[in-house]
Amino acid sequence: MTEQRKVLVTQRFFDPESLAYLKANGCEVCIASLADGQGDGDLSEDRLAELLAEADGWIVGHAWINAALLARLPRLQVIARRGVGYERVDVDAVQAAGKVATIAVGGNDASVADHAIAMMLALGRLGEAKARMVRGDWAISLGRDLYGKTVGVVGIGRIGRGVVKRLAGFDAQVLAYSPQPDWSYGRESGVRYVDLNTLLAESDYVTLHAPLQDDTRLLIDDVALSRMKPTAFLINTARGGLVDDRALLQALRDGVIAGAGLDVFLSETDPLYRATTDALLALPNVVATPHSGASTHEGLQRTNLIAAQCVVAVLNGDTPPAPCVIADGRGHFSTEE
């Protein structure tokens, strides 16, 4: 009988179907016990090394993965992110260690696109209405339609295109910014590619769907915010590092823009911004969620299963779907004596 492979899951909400898939493919699964409010990104290197000591596969959320940790895990073969961002994964270190790292491409695109639209509607129509009603203030306040508005989409990958599809139902005019425009997609979808400054100046809603990398870090700063309409809204369901939160806080206080919908914050990776996050949350023109745009029952089931399939593929000596692979170091080591 083939020896069972051991897989550690350090994420909550790992559904029974994905668990059954791993077990049916000869995997013994351990789901790490995390304290309330704790994520795997909060675990120390020592604790991760302890949990993963006998693991062949790891389904991970937001833990930092670097050369020092990998050096302590000679048995580990595959690291599967239940998500698509991988700025916390040192892909060069994974490659050098002879391991495989994957992401769950396509699993949560629809969930995040839905969330971005929900934030647009909430900013324009809901705001703090319920809080006012609880206080006994039932006075009618005027909202703003999404219908017929101009929406600027920064980053036009899978999620950005999902947002574009949903905006068609609102008869919105869509502007897009991308360093590498796909002109054929623009013609087919009716999206107009423009430079970032034009997008900021003309949009009623600006929604961010770009990856976090050197050329996008703090892309939306005080200068960028000053280019937006005073009636415009900013939505960020991508990565906190795309926006200078201190500049955003000042812009919202000064009426430079009308409001913001935020699912991600700089304080997630930099504790020095915690006070800024708290101040943003206190503003009546901010709609906020705790980095949960991808976290629906359906979205997590999809990403869980993709991560599980990637783990099984690697443990079977196969290759996961190419879009999911961010590092594959299995051919890194020389076979020479």
Catalytic residues: 239, 268, 291
- Give the chain as a 3 state SS string: CCCCEEEEECCCCCCHHHHHHHHHCCEEEEECCCCCCCCHHHCCHHHHHHHCCCCCEEEECCCCECHHHHHCCCCCCEEEECCCCCCCECHHHHHHCCCEEECCCCCCHHHHHHHHHHHHHHHHHHCCHHHHHHCCCCCCCCCCCCCCCEEEEECCCHHHHHHHHHHHHHCCEEEEECCCCCHHHHHHHCCEECCHHHHHHHCCEEEECCCCCCCCCCCECHHHHHCCCCCCEEEECCCHHHECHHHHHHHHHHCCCCEEEECCCHHHCCHHHHHHHHHHHCCCCEEECCCCCCCCHHHHHHHHHHHHHHHHHHHCCCCCCHHHEEEECCCCCCCCC
- The set of residues, in sequence order, having a beta carbon less than 8 Å from that of 195 and lying 6+ positions away, is 177
Vertex 103, ends 98 and 109: CA angle to 5°? 170
CB atoms within 10 A of CB 47: 14
Residue type for 17, please? E
